[in-house]
Structure 1
Amino acid sequence: MDIFLFITQLLVVLGCIVMGTRSSGVGLGLWGGTGVAILVFVFGLAPGAPPVDALLIVLSVVLASSMMQAAGGIDWMVSIAAKVISKNPKQITLIAPLTAFLFSVGAGTSNILYPLLPVIYDLSYRNGIRPSRPLSLSVVATGVALACSPVSAAMAAMIALTDTAPWNFELMDIIKVTLPAAIVGIFLASLFVRRLGKDIADDPEIQAKIASGKLVAPGATATAVKAEVTVTKEGRWAAIIFLLGVLAIVVFGLFSGLRPLGAGDDPQPIGMTPIIEIIMFVAGTLIMLVAKPKVAEIPTMTVFRAGMVSAIALFGLAWLTNTFLGEHSKLVAEGIGGLVDTAPWIFALGVFLVCVLTTSQSTATNSIVPIGLAAGIPLGLMSGMWAGAFAGIYLLPTNGSQIAAANFDESGSTKLGTKLVDHSFFLPTLILAVATIAVGSLFGVLWGG
Structure 2
Amino acid sequence: MIWIELLVVLFFIFLGSKMGGIGIGYAGGAGVVVLTLIFGLEAGSVPVDVILIIMAVISAIAAMQRAGGLDYLVHLSEKILRKNPKRVTFIAPTVTYWMTLLAGTGHTAYAALPVITEVAKEGNIRPSKPLSISVVASQIAITASPISAAVVIFASFLEPLGVSYLQLLGVAIPSTILACMVGAIVANRLGKPLSEDPVYQERLKAGLVKQKSGERQENSKSSKYSVAIFGAAILIIVTYASLISKKVGLIADPTIGRNHAIMAIMLLAAMVIALVCKIKLSDIPGMSTFKSGMSACICVLGVAWLGDTFVSNHIEEIKEAAGGLLNQYSWLLAIVLFFASMLLYSQAATTTALMPAALALGVSPLAAIASFAAVSALFVLPTYPTLLAAVEMDDTGSTKIGKYVFNHSFIIPGTVTIAASVAFGFLFGSMIL
Q: What is the TM-score with the length of structure 1 in the denominator?
A: 0.89
> Which moved further from structure 2: 328-337 or 293-302?
328-337
Contact preservation (8 Å) 2:176, 2:421: yes
Q: Is residue 110 of structure 2 the alignment partner of residue 125 of structure 1?
A: no
Contact preservation (8 Å) 2:244, 2:251: no
| Residue number in structure 2 paired with 1:415 | 400
Contact preservation (8 Å) 2:303, 2:344: no
1:376 to 348, 358, 362: 362
Alignment of 1:162-201 (within 5 A): 162-163=158-159, 166-167=160-161, 169-201=163-195
Contact preservation (8 Å) 2:85, 2:122: no
How big is each residue's C-alpha offset from its partner over 1:399-448, in whole Å with a ceiling of 9 and x where there is no partner?
A: 2222222232232211122221222112111111211122123222332x
CA drift of 1:174 comes to 1.8
Contact preservation (8 Å) 1:321, 1:370: no
> Which moved further from structure 2: 86-95 or 150-159?
150-159
What secondary structure is seen at the aligned counterpart in 2 of 1:192?
helix
How big is each residue's C-alpha offset from its partner over 1:6-52, in whole Å with a ceiling of 9 and x where there is no partner?
A: 22222222222222222233322222222222222233322222111
| Residue number in structure 2 paired with 1:87 | 83
Give the residue type in structure 2 aligned to 1:297.
Answer: D
1:8–1:260: structure 2 CA closer, same or farther, 3 Å change rule?
A: farther
**Distance between the aligned counterparts of 1:213 and 1:268, measured in 2?**
63
1:72–1:214: structure 2 CA closer, same or farther, 3 Å change rule?
A: closer
1:329–1:440: structure 2 CA closer, same or farther, 3 Å change rule?
A: same
Pairwise CA RMSD: 2.4
**Distance between the aligned counterparts of 1:103 and 1:117, measured in 2?**
12
Contact preservation (8 Å) 2:335, 2:374: no
**Distance between the aligned counterparts of 1:21 and 1:366, measured in 2?**
17
CA drift of 1:386 comes to 1.4
CA drift of 1:294 comes to 1.0
1:230–1:98: structure 2 CA closer, same or farther, 3 Å change rule?
A: same
CA drift of 1:382 comes to 1.2
| Residue number in structure 1 paired with 2:348 | 362
Alignment of 1:393-404 (within 5 A): 393-404=378-389
1:357–1:47: structure 2 CA closer, same or farther, 3 Å change rule?
A: closer
Q: Is residue 58 of structure 2 the alignment partner of residue 76 of structure 1?
A: no
Alignment of 1:188-267 (within 5 A): 188-210=182-204, 231-256=219-244, 267=253
CA drift of 1:308 comes to 1.0
How many residues are aligned here?
431
CA drift of 1:118 comes to 2.1
| Residue number in structure 2 paired with 1:429 | 414
**Distance between the aligned counterparts of 1:259 and 1:280, measured in 2?**
23
Q: What is the TM-score with the length of structure 2 in the denominator?
A: 0.92
2:303 to 294, 317, 340: 317
Contact preservation (8 Å) 1:383, 1:444: yes
1:21 to 17, 20, 27: 17
Give the residue type in structure 1 aligned to 2:170.
Answer: K
CA drift of 1:183 comes to 0.6
**Distance between the aligned counterparts of 1:295 and 1:215, measured in 2?**
39
What secondary structure is seen at the aligned counterpart in 2 of 1:128?
coil
> Which moved further from structure 2: 120-129 or 328-337?
328-337
Give the residue type in structure 2 aligned to 1:253.
Answer: A
Runs in 1 of length 4+ with deviation above 3 angstroms? 159-163, 207-216, 223-226, 257-262, 267-271
Extract unaligned runs of 5+ from structure 2.
Answer: none
**Distance between the aligned counterparts of 1:374 and 1:9, measured in 2?**
20
CA drift of 1:71 comes to 1.5
1:411–1:250: structure 2 CA closer, same or farther, 3 Å change rule?
A: same
**Distance between the aligned counterparts of 1:25 and 1:213, measured in 2?**
34
> Which moved further from structure 2: 365-374 or 233-242?
365-374
**Distance between the aligned counterparts of 2:382 and 2:34, measured in 1?**
33
What secondary structure is seen at the aligned counterpart in 2 of 1:336?
helix
1:209–1:35: structure 2 CA closer, same or farther, 3 Å change rule?
A: closer
CA drift of 1:213 comes to 6.6
Q: Is residue 294 of structure 2 the alignment partner of residue 308 of structure 1?
A: yes
How big is each residue's C-alpha offset from its partner over 1:58-114, in whole Å with a ceiling of 9 and x where there is no partner?
A: 111111111111111111111112212222222111111111101111011222222
1:396–1:47: structure 2 CA closer, same or farther, 3 Å change rule?
A: closer
CA drift of 1:292 comes to 1.7
What secondary structure is seen at the aligned counterpart in 2 of 1:371?
helix
